Amino acid sequence: MQLTKEKFKERFERKLDDYFENDIKHASNSELCAALSAVVRDGYAPQWRRTRISETHEGNKQIYYFSIEFLPGTLLKSNLLNLGWLKTVREALKEMGLDLDTIAAAEPDMALGNGGLGRLAAAFMDSLASLGYTGNGNGIRYKYGLFKQKFVDGYQKELPNDWLKDDHWEVRRESKAVPVRFGGKVEMVDDDGWLTPRYEGERVVQAVPYDIAVVGYKDGITNTLRLWDAEIPPQDELKYPTIADRRKVEDLTSILYPDDSNYEGLLLRLKQEYFFVSAGLQSILNYFIKDLKQTDFRKLPEYVAVHINDTHPAMAVAELMRLLVDEHRVDWDTAWKITVQTMSYTNHTIMAEALEKWDLSMMQDLLPRIVQIITEIDRRFVESLKGKTSDDVIERTRIIKNGRVHMAHLAIIGSHSINGVAALHTQLLETDVLKDFYELYPKRFNNKTNGIVLRRWLQIANPELSDLLDQTIGTKWRDDSNEMLKFENFYHDTKTLNRLEEIKLDNKKKLAKFIKKETGIEVDPTAIFDVQIKRLHAYKRQTLKLLHILKLYQDLKNGIDHPKRVVIFAAKAAPSYVFAKQIIKVINETANMINNDPDIHGKLKVVFLENYNVSLAERIIPAADVSEQISTTTKEASGTSNMKLMANGALTVATMDGANIEIKDEVGEDNIFSFGLNKDQVYKYYADKSYHPRNIYENDPVLRDTIDSLKEVPNCNGEPQALVNNFLSDNEEFLVLADFEAYLAAQKAVEATWAQKRIWYQMSLVNIAHSERFDVDKTIQRYAQDIWHLKKLHIEKTK
Ligand code: 26Q
How far is residue 150's CA from residue 581's CA, in Å, rounded to a whole number?
12
Q: Using CA atoms, how far apart are residues 57 and 198, in angstroms rounded to an integer?
A: 38
CATH number belonging to the domain at 59-73+109-450+782-788, selected among 3.30.70.360, 3.40.50.150, 3.30.70.1290, 3.40.50.2000: 3.40.50.2000
DSSP letters spanning 222-276: EEEEEEEEEE--GGGGGG--SHHHHHHHHHTTTB----SS-----HHHHHHHHHH
Q: In a mutational test of the pocket of ligand 1, which residue from 65, 112, 308, 348 has the highest number of ligand atoms less than 8 Å from its CB?
A: 348
Q: Which residues are catalytic?
A: 348, 534-535, 540, 640, 644
**Cα 317 to ligand 1 centroid, rounded to whole Å:** 20
Q: Which atom of ligand 1 is nearest to the CA of 113?
A: 9
Residues 6 or more apart whose CB falls under 8 angstroms from that of 578 comprise none
SS3 label, residue 193: coil
**Ligand 1 centroid to residue 309 C-alpha, Å:** 10
**Ligand 1: does its nearest atom lie under 6 Å from the Cβ of 123?**
no
CA 147 to chain centre: 15
Query: Is residue 585 within 6 Å of ligand 1 at its C-beta?
Result: no
Report whether 132 contacts 103 (CB < 8 A): no
Q: Are 103 and 32 in contact (CB under 8 A)?
A: yes
What residues contact residue 557 under an 8 Å CB cut-off, 6+ apart? 597, 599, 600
For 523-576, the DSSP string reads: --TTSEEEEEES---GGGTHHHHHHHHHHHHHHHHTT-----EEEEEE----TT
Nearest Cα neighbor of 545 from 627, 624, 649 is: 627
Q: CB of 260 closer than 6 A to ligand 1? A: yes
Of 256, 261, 577, which is best to mutate to test ligand 1, by the most ligand atoms within 8 angstroms of its C-beta?
A: 261
CA distance 200 to 186: 6
CA-nearest of 662, 633, 615, 651 to 760 is 651
CA 87 centroid distance within chain: 28
Sequence-ordered list of residues with C-beta below 8 angstroms from that of 443, at least 6 positions apart, any chain: none
pTM above 0.95, yes or no: yes
Distance 214 CA to ligand 1 centre (A): 23
Tell me, what's the pLDDT at 324?
98
SS3 397: helix
Say what the alpha-carbon torsion angle 268, 273, 275, 280 is, to the nearest 10 degrees: 160
Residue in 754, 739, 746 with CA at minimum distance from that of residue 565: 754
Mutate to test the pocket of ligand 1, among 67, 71, 259, 277 (most ligand atoms within 8 A of CB): 259
Report the distance separating Cα 407 and Cα 429, nearest Å.
16
Give pLDDT, residue 352: 85
Ligand 1 in reach of 490 Cβ (< 6 A): no
Q: Is the CB of 258 under 6 A from ligand 1?
A: no
Name which residue sits closest to atom 1 of ligand 1, judged by CA.
Answer: 263
For residues 626 and 653, is the Cβ–Cβ distance under 8 A?
Answer: yes
- Nearest-angstrom CA–CA distance, 511 and 499: 18
Start-end of CATH 3.40.50.2000 domains in the chain:
59-73+109-450+782-788, 454-773
Ligand 1 pocket, residue 638 CB under 6 Å: yes
Q: Find all residues with CB under 8 Å of 367, minimum gap 6, and list them.
A: 182, 270, 274, 315
- Ligand 1 pocket test: pick from 260, 404, 534 the residue with the most ligand atoms within 8 Å of its Cβ: 260
Exposure on the CB side of residue 459, measured as CA atoms within 13 A: 23
CB of 116 closer than 6 angstroms to any ligand 1 atom = yes
CATH class of 454-773: alpha beta
- How close is the Cα of 117 to the center of ligand 1, in Å? 5
The reported pLDDT for the residue numbered 1 is 64
pLDDT at 652: 99
The finding on whether 117 has its CB within 6 A of some atom of ligand 1 is yes
For residues 184 and 190, is the Cβ–Cβ distance under 8 A? Answer: no
CB-based burial, 333-362: b 16+ in 10 Å, e otherwise: eebbebbbbbbbbbbbbbbeebbbbbebeb
State the closest ligand 1 atom to the C-alpha of 265, by its place in the atom list counted from 1.
Answer: 3
**How far is Cα 596 from Cα 208, in angstroms, rounded to an integer?**
53
Q: In which residue ranges of the chain is pLDDT below 70?
A: 1, 796-799
The whole-number pLDDT of residue 797 equals 60
